[in-house]
Amino acid sequence: MDRAEDREPLVEIDGLRKLFDQSQGIIDTVLGREPQPVRAVDGVSLDIHKGDIVGIAGESGCGKTTLGKMLVKLHEPTEGAIRFDGNDITEMTREEEREFRKRVQMIFQDPFESLNPRMTVYDTIAEPLKINDMVGDYDARRDRVKQVLEDVGLGPAEVYLDAFPDELSGGERQRIAIARALVVDPDFIVCDEPVSMLDVSIRAGVLNLMKELQDEYDLTYLFISHDLSLIRYMCDRAGIMYLGNMVEQGPTDDIIDDPKHPYTEALFDAVPDVELGEERRRANATGEVPSPRNPPSGCRYHPRCAHIIPPDGWDGTQEAFRRAYQFKLKVRRGDLSAESAESADIADAEALVEHGLTLDIPEEYRSETEIESGGSKVDIARIDLPPAARETLVDAAGAVLDGDTEGALATLDEAITTPCESRRPEPQPAGTREVACHLYDEPGFEELDSSTAGIAPAAAED
Amino acid sequence: MATQQGDSGTDGGSVRRRWEPRIERLKRGWDRYTEHRIGVVGLVILVVFTLWSIIPGVFAPHSTEWIAYIGEPPIESRLTAEQVRSLPHPPAFGDPFFAPLGTNANGNGILSLLIYSAKNAMYIGLAAGLLSSLVGVPLGLISGFYGDTWIDEAIQRFVDIMYGLPFLPFLIVLVAIRGITTTNIIIGIAVTSWLNNCITVRGETLSLKERSYVESAKVAGASDTRIIFRHIMPNVLPISFVFLAQDAAGAVIAQASLAYLGLADFTANSWGIMLENIKSQGYIFDAWWWLLPPGLALMLMAASFYFIGFSMEDVTNPQR
């Protein structure tokens, strides 16, 4: 079972939200434009228990760094609460904040940026001590700094004390950044991609050092990384983020062995496998990450999802629905238009439908005609589209060819709908973890395509 | 890297160990400075001008009151008509008098005037440069650190308005209202030259405050003042030094052009006034020994400031 259950959480994050760029320029105000903030973190809840290493993974731009910075009070949350040891950190008095600063530290990604080039190693590491008035005089501080330097494996410390960062290697710099975080003897450290800028050859050393220090200093880590193998190596629990949402969280091994959220699955497929002879599976996801300024409605992942849920009355396969839905998105994005049809030599509506139903995914997931035509055409007869849907698609394609994109969209919006688009999934308990996906909302999706059929739907609690 | 010296615990030892790396750093900076010959040349020129302005009597053959044929004050006799006709006199080395760069139309030695004027130029250059740095750097730091707030907005709009002031007309009006004194000219130059300083420092601050070492200082609980002075300012000072040198050069030249236009304190000695005199007395095409030296001196002083600024950039912003 989950061993975290019976312990007090050290950090509780509740409905955390951070919007950037909420202010507008004068011109926008005059023209009455709505502000379009970047929704960096949008409704994340997470508990971090004492002594755990919690990993946060996700593509770049998913808000994981912003989340980490909010935990150390570098950014103020727009909404939601962060409780550290029971106290809300957004409403601290000056005295409480001083105490908080001694207990929480952060290690940054780039060791070439995180050390002031004009300060010696001693000055850098001693700074938190000076700010917090922790160790009295110069010699006592110097002894403490030496001790920490030796703890992070930089011994003899004398050699490093008076060096400037530009004399040190990346690994040494990152160890110094770790020493600076440790010097105040904190309880909780946020590590933002701590080894991603280091040479692969020295990563393991730094990671093992961090693990050793965890025991020695009795630390709790929040480990932010895009590298899943690293999360697997370091973390007891993991959270997967996508576009500011936490899509799945739970014990690391469970998440890795049996990813429940379609995004997690795609993310793990995207990691190259080194095992020889094994056919590499690639991510079954379409398109790019949408802009966090204007995220998709409902489930953030639905436009890219391989397991998008068809509407109730749909009698074709889930794959057919996915294709039909992609057709709609292409029309909406303007990828399919009269001009694009002309340049691709497509004259009639049927051909445009066949062109639009293709999916931009790795070869192993494609249909035969798609592979033959290099991804530009799919045989409509082989797709199990319901006749009504097929008719709608052809109608819409006709409208697109006539240049009436809005008409086509109206037709499509009526017929091709999905619950993923209209409702936002709440995190549901699913086995040992929490998943935010409509697939786990209620039972009764066995008729989905074969790859999802294996996942037992969780008890509905919506 | 500094090595451990002295017993720990003694006060002298700890102070010494504290400062050792900084001294070491200065030495390294000097090595980098001397890598470029141009910086050394600038420094030599500036040292010469500095000495001229501190102890002009050592270098100048005569005082500024010295008059050819007659000599140092008190002046009791008058020049004969023939002697007056020979002025401005070309360079003479002891016969009938000693004036290595000749004399002007009043019989004053050009070399002496040149050396005694260095003080004025140095004063104006350094005062205007320092003043514009003292105004521009703090304002730029504040503006950048509180970027995108009303503080930044207010400072930047003020800078925009100041940019609208045309330099020479502004100075002419200022001097007309407050009188022609060197101080007023310095103020006028500083008022218009701090703007570049402010904007550059602001831009640099905006970028520096996003560095993760600033963020990690924040995480450690550092106050805004600490971050500005310990983490940002040491990193913008190099640029502001470059600007200080440029402003100083600009100020010397601006003062000379004002003097040439007749807007200068005529009781003071200055290279600009020497040029103005040769123009107003109509000897531009006749007395090259009078025309060239002040122009060359101005050029050399401005160049020395620029050279030093150029080399300082290497010291403070090492590229490898």
Strands (E), A210-302: 220-224, 237-242, 245-251
Q: Say if the ipTM goes beyond 0.85.
A: no
Handedness of CA B168, B173, B174, B178 (dihedral sign): positive
Q: What is the pLDDT of residue A181?
A: 92
Q: What is the pLDDT of residue A279?
A: 60
Instruction: Closest CB to B213: pick one of A109, A114, A164.
Output: A114
Asked if A18 and A133 sit in the same domain, the reply is yes
φ and ψ at residue A321, rounded to 5 degrees: -65, -40
**Contact state of B215 with A132 under an 8 Å Cβ cutoff:** no
C-alpha A15/C-alpha A45 separation (Å) is 5
Contacts of A82 (CB under 8 A, 6+ apart): A11, A12, A13, A14, A16, A70, A71, A88, A89, A90
Residues of A in contact with B3 (CB under 8 A): 158
**Kind and range of the H or E run holding A107:** strand A104-107
Confidence of residue B8 (pLDDT cuts 50, 70, 90): very low
Q: Closest approach of chain B CAs to the CA of A156, in angstroms?
A: 12
**Contact state of A74 with B20 under an 8 Å Cβ cutoff:** no
Residues of A in contact with B234 (CB under 8 A): 116, 118
> Which residue, among A116, A129, A141, would best test binding to B if mutated, counting the most B CBs under 10 Å from its CB?
A116
Q: Measured between CB atoms, does B210 come within 8 Å of chain A? A: no
Task: Decide if B121 is inside a domain.
Answer: yes
Q: Closest approach of chain A CAs to the CA of B145, in angstroms?
A: 15
Task: Render pLDDT for B26-51 as a digit per residue (tens, 0 to 9).
Answer: 887 788 788 888 889 999 999 999 99
**Contact state of B220 with A110 under an 8 Å Cβ cutoff:** no
Strands (E), A331-387: none
Q: Encoding tokens for residue A275? A: 């095992």
List, in sequence order, the alpha helices (H) in B34-55: 37-54
Q: Closest approach of chain B CAs to the CA of A84, in angstroms?
A: 15
Asked if A332 and A249 sit in the same domain, the reply is no
Task: Decide if B186 is inside a domain.
Answer: yes
How many beta-carbon pairs under 8 angstroms link A with B? 84
CATH of the domain at B215: 1.10.3720.10
Q: What is the pLDDT of residue A450?
A: 38
Task: Decide if A35 is inside a domain.
Answer: yes
Asked if A245 and A380 sit in the same domain, the reply is no
Q: Closest approach of chain B CAs to the CA of A31, in angstroms?
A: 21
Task: Decide if A180 is inside a domain.
Answer: yes
Range among A420-424, B56-60, B199-203, B237-241 with highest mean pLDDT value: B199-203
Task: Decide if A287 is inside a domain.
Answer: no
Q: Is A392 helix (H, G, I), strand (E, B) or coil?
A: helix
Give the largest CA-CA distance in chain A.
84
Instruction: Give Cα separations from A239 to A5, A62, A425, B130 (angstroms).
Output: 16, 12, 16, 55
Q: Measured between CB atoms, does B209 come within 8 Å of chain A? A: no
Among A257, A272, A300, the domain-final residue is A257
Cα nearest neighbour of B316 on chain A: A118
Q: Are A71 and A87 in contact (CB under 8 A)?
A: no
Q: Put the strands of the sheet holding A188-192 in their side by side order.
A: A104-107, A188-192, A220-224, A53-57, A237-242, A245-251, A433-435, A428-430
**Contact state of A127 with B217 under an 8 Å Cβ cutoff:** yes
Q: How many domains does chain A have?
A: 2
Asked if A244 and A361 sit in the same domain, the reply is no
Q: Encoding tokens for residue B106? A: 């009043």
Among A417, A439, A456, the domain-final residue is A417
Confidence of residue B137 (pLDDT cuts 50, 70, 90): very high
Task: Decide if B288 is inside a domain.
Answer: yes
Asked if A97 and A221 sit in the same domain, the reply is yes
Task: Decide if A49 is inside a domain.
Answer: yes
Q: How many domains does chain B have?
A: 1
Confidence of residue B9 (pLDDT cuts 50, 70, 90): very low
Asked if A112 and A216 sit in the same domain, the reply is yes
φ and ψ at residue B103, rounded to 5 degrees: -130, 170
Identify the contact set of chain A against chain B, taking CB-CB distances under 8 A: 69, 72-74, 97-98, 101-102, 104-106, 108-110, 113-120, 124, 127-128, 131-132, 138-139, 142, 158-159, 162-164, 166-167, 177, 180-181, 184
Task: Decide if A460 is inside a domain.
Answer: no
Asked if A97 and A25 sit in the same domain, the reply is yes
Cα nearest neighbour of A73 on chain B: B219
Asked if A50 and A156 sit in the same domain, the reply is yes
Which pTM does this prediction carry?
A: 0.76
Q: What is the pLDDT of residue A222?
A: 93
Q: Closest approach of chain A CAs to the CA of B11, in angstroms?
A: 9
Residues of A in contact with B223 (CB under 8 A): 131
**Contact state of A105 with B8 under an 8 Å Cβ cutoff:** no
Q: Are A62 and A47 in contact (CB under 8 A)?
A: no
CATH of the domain at A70: 3.40.50.300
Classify the phi-psi angles of B141: left when phi > 0, otherwise alpha if psi is within -120 to 50, otherwise beta. Answer: alpha
Sort B216 into a burial class: Cβ within 10 Å, 0-12 / 13-18 / 19+.
Answer: buried
Task: Decide if B187 is inside a domain.
Answer: yes
Task: Decide if A440 is inside a domain.
Answer: no
Asked if A37 and A102 sit in the same domain, the reply is yes
Instruction: Closest CB to B2: pick one of A104, A139, A162.
Output: A162
C-alpha A255/C-alpha A241 separation (Å) is 13
Reported as half-sphere exposure (CB side, CA atoms, 13 A), residue B136 has a value of: 32
Residues of A in contact with B220 (CB under 8 A): 101, 105, 127-128, 131-132, 180, 184
Q: Are B123 and B71 in contact (CB under 8 A)?
A: no
Q: Is B235 helix (H, G, I), strand (E, B) or coil?
A: helix
Rounded to 10 deg, the angle between the B271-280 and B288-316 helix axes is 150
Rounded to 10 deg, the angle between the B150-163 and B182-208 helix axes is 140
Q: Measured between CB atoms, does B224 come within 8 Å of chain A? A: no
**Contact state of B226 with A131 under an 8 Å Cβ cutoff:** yes
Instruction: Closest CB to A128: pick one of B18, B220, B318.
Output: B220
C-alpha A52/C-alpha B11 separation (Å) is 44
Cα nearest neighbour of B5 on chain A: A158
**Contact state of B212 with A114 under an 8 Å Cβ cutoff:** yes
Q: What is the pLDDT of residue A451?
A: 40
Cα nearest neighbour of A189 on chain B: B219
Asked if A339 and A212 sit in the same domain, the reply is no
Range of the domain at B52: 39-80+114-316
- Residue B88: Cβ within 10 Å count: 21
Q: Measured between CB atoms, does B222 come within 8 Å of chain A? A: yes
Task: Render pLDDT for B290-319 as a digit per residue (tens, 0 to 9).
Answer: 889 988 998 898 889 888 888 877 776 654
**Contact state of A142 with B1 under an 8 Å Cβ cutoff:** no
Q: Closest approach of chain B CAs to the CA of A108, in angstroms?
A: 7
Q: Closest approach of chain B CAs to the CA of A83, in angstroms?
A: 17
Higher pLDDT pick, A428 / B13:
A428
Reported as half-sphere exposure (CB side, CA atoms, 13 A), residue A343 has a value of: 5
Task: Decide if A271 is inside a domain.
Answer: no
Asked if A28 and A92 sit in the same domain, the reply is yes
Residues of A in contact with B4 (CB under 8 A): 158
Residuewise pLDDT in 10s, chain A (462 residues): 444 456 778 999 988 888 887 766 677 777 777 778 888 888 888 889 998 999 999 888 888 899 999 999 888 898 889 999 888 888 888 888 888 998 999 999 888 888 988 888 888 999 999 888 887 788 888 899 999 999 998 878 888 888 888 888 888 999 999 999 999 999 999 999 888 888 888 888 899 999 999 999 899 999 999 888 888 888 999 999 998 888 998 999 888 888 888 888 888 887 766 555 556 667 778 777 888 888 888 888 888 888 888 888 788 888 888 888 888 888 888 887 777 777 777 777 888 888 888 887 877 777 777 777 777 778 777 778 888 888 888 888 888 888 888 888 888 888 888 888 888 888 888 778 888 888 877 554 443 443 433 344 433 333
Task: Decide if A78 is inside a domain.
Answer: yes
Asked if A245 and A371 sit in the same domain, the reply is no
**Contact state of B18 with A138 under an 8 Å Cβ cutoff:** yes
Tell how strand A53-57 and strand A220-224 pair up: parallel
Range of the domain at A179: 9-257
Task: Decide if B59 is inside a domain.
Answer: yes
Residues of B in contact with A132 (CB under 8 A): 220-221
Task: Decide if B24 is inside a domain.
Answer: no
Q: Measured between CB atoms, does B147 come within 8 Å of chain A? A: no
Q: Closest approach of chain A CAs to the CA of B53, in angstroms?
A: 35
